[in-house]
Structure 1
Amino acid sequence: MSHDADSRGRPALVAVVAMAENGVIGRDGAMPWSVPSDLKRYRSLTMGKPMIMGRKTLESIGRVLDGRDTIVLTRSASVPFDGAIVADSPEAALALATERAKTRGADEIVIAGGGEIYRAFMDRLDRLLVTEIAAAPEGDAVFPPIDPALWEKVFEAPAERGERDSAASRFRIYERRAAGAGSPPA
């Protein structure tokens, strides 16, 4: 799926997230499920693109991901993994990601979490790529609510469940509604 840079002259801002039915995205620095088939989707959705994430998300991944620029939004001056690029504000992270996207020829910038990072960019996002995990675990990190007055679901399909997946899942794509588009039909 390819999307052109938006009218602001920057690549589209896209959140890529796996979340439970109750909005939980993490617990104690990890995902409270194991869905390896979704990790393959995540790789294909993010490959070749700059990614903005928080320090805790990078630490939970345990390394900088290959084939992608990892921009870490953190108050710290350093991060524990070589190859990560540090930004101290959402604006600085976005400027770095826009520069990296142009260098790579990428038409999207991925917002990769966690909860605080998603909240920091929610009002700027153009698209949400959501894997909903069929579970409702306890957690300490959540994805912001997806307001149907602001977001239109443009695609939904069940994901093929792999034999090692701890839960079934669905993949959804949401596009930001045009300003003044109103609420969805009841």
Structure 2
Amino acid sequence: MIVMIAAVAENNTLGKNNELIWHLPNDFKRFKSLTSGHHIIMGRKTFESFPKPLPNRTHIIITRQKEYHAEGCIIVDSIEKALEVCPKDQDTFIIGGGEIYTLGLPFTDKIEITRVHHSFEGDARFPAINESEWKIIVSEFNEKDEKHLYDYSYQTFVRK
């Protein structure tokens, strides 16, 4: 199954200047739990925003840069090629950024969203989820607290 996973503001903002705008430790834990042991597909800028490759995951980086190299990662030049190198009998996660989410949406079976209940200014956006194509099957609200400055919900969407 192809799964998109993202933390997204109410106005579909993902981030600004290749960085997250908010800090939600529980979302990081959920991301790690869901993606560990799997192939993760991302754009080059998303990969470069990490201090180092994420442990226990196979990184597939999509880039137009012909000579791009990242130690221990699979480099491809299209979403189709990224999906081809992934095992068909396991979940594969598309983890961003905005352009990769847009390219990957037609191939996606499931979307795991952490919806941050606030609007932010940013330069990366998640594509709109068309309600005629997707249905929400899980929604779990979480209130802000001392470690989380914003209310947020975990939402799971599947194709209708």
The number of equivalent residue pairs is: 159
After superposition, residues 102-121 of structure 1 pair within 5 angstroms as: 107-121=90-104
What one-letter code is carried by the residue in structure 2 that aligns with 1:24? Answer: T
* Higher CA-based Rg: 1
After superposition, residues 106-185 of structure 1 pair within 5 angstroms as: 107-159=90-142, 161=144, 163-177=146-160
Residue 22 (1) aligns with residue 22 (2): no
Give the Cα–Cα distance (whole angstroms) in 2 for the partners of residues 93 and 83 of structure 1.
15
Give the Cα–Cα distance (whole angstroms) in 1 for the partners of residues 145 and 29 of structure 2.
11
Give the Cα–Cα distance (whole angstroms) in 1 for the partners of residues 145 and 45 of structure 2.
27
Give the Cα–Cα distance (whole angstroms) in 1 for the partners of residues 38 and 142 of structure 2.
23
Task: Confirm or deny: 8 A CA contact 1:64 1:82 kept in the other structure.
Answer: no
Q: Deviations over 1:124-183 (max 9, x none)?
A: 100000000121110000000001100000110113645322212100000011xxxxxx
- Which structure carries more strand by proportion? 2
Question: Paired residue for 1:88?
Answer: 77
Q: Which structure 1 residue ranges, 5 or more long, are not aligned? A: 1-11, 178-186
Q: Deviations over 1:3-36 (max 9, x none)?
A: xxxxxxxxx0000010000000010010111111
Task: Give the alignment partner of residue 66 of structure 1, picking from 43, 50, 55.
Answer: 55
Task: Confirm or deny: 8 A CA contact 1:50 1:68 kept in the other structure.
Answer: yes
Percent of residue pairs bearing the same amino acid type = 35
Q: Which 10-residue stretch deviates more, 58-67 or 47-56?
A: 58-67
Normalised by the length of structure 2, the TM-score is 0.94
Q: Which 10-residue stretch deviates more, 87-96 or 66-75?
A: 87-96
- Secondary structure at the counterpart of residue 94 of structure 1: helix
Task: Confirm or deny: 8 A CA contact 1:37 1:161 kept in the other structure.
Answer: no
The CA RMSD over aligned residues, in Å, is 1.4
Task: Give the alignment partner of residue 30 of structure 2, picking from 3, 20, 41.
Answer: 41
- C-alpha displacement of 1:57: 0.6
Question: Paired residue for 2:68?
Answer: 78
What one-letter code is carried by the residue in structure 1 that aligns with 2:61? Answer: V
Q: Deviations over 1:113-133 (max 9, x none)?
A: 000000111111000000001
- Secondary structure at the counterpart of residue 82 of structure 2: helix
Normalised by the length of structure 1, the TM-score is 0.81
Question: Paired residue for 1:52?
Answer: 41
- Secondary structure at the counterpart of residue 96 of structure 2: coil
Give the Cα–Cα distance (whole angstroms) in 2 for the partners of residues 16 and 162 of structure 1.
23
Relative to structure 1, is the Cα distance of residues 49 and 160 closer, same or farther in structure 2, using a 3 angstrom cutoff? farther
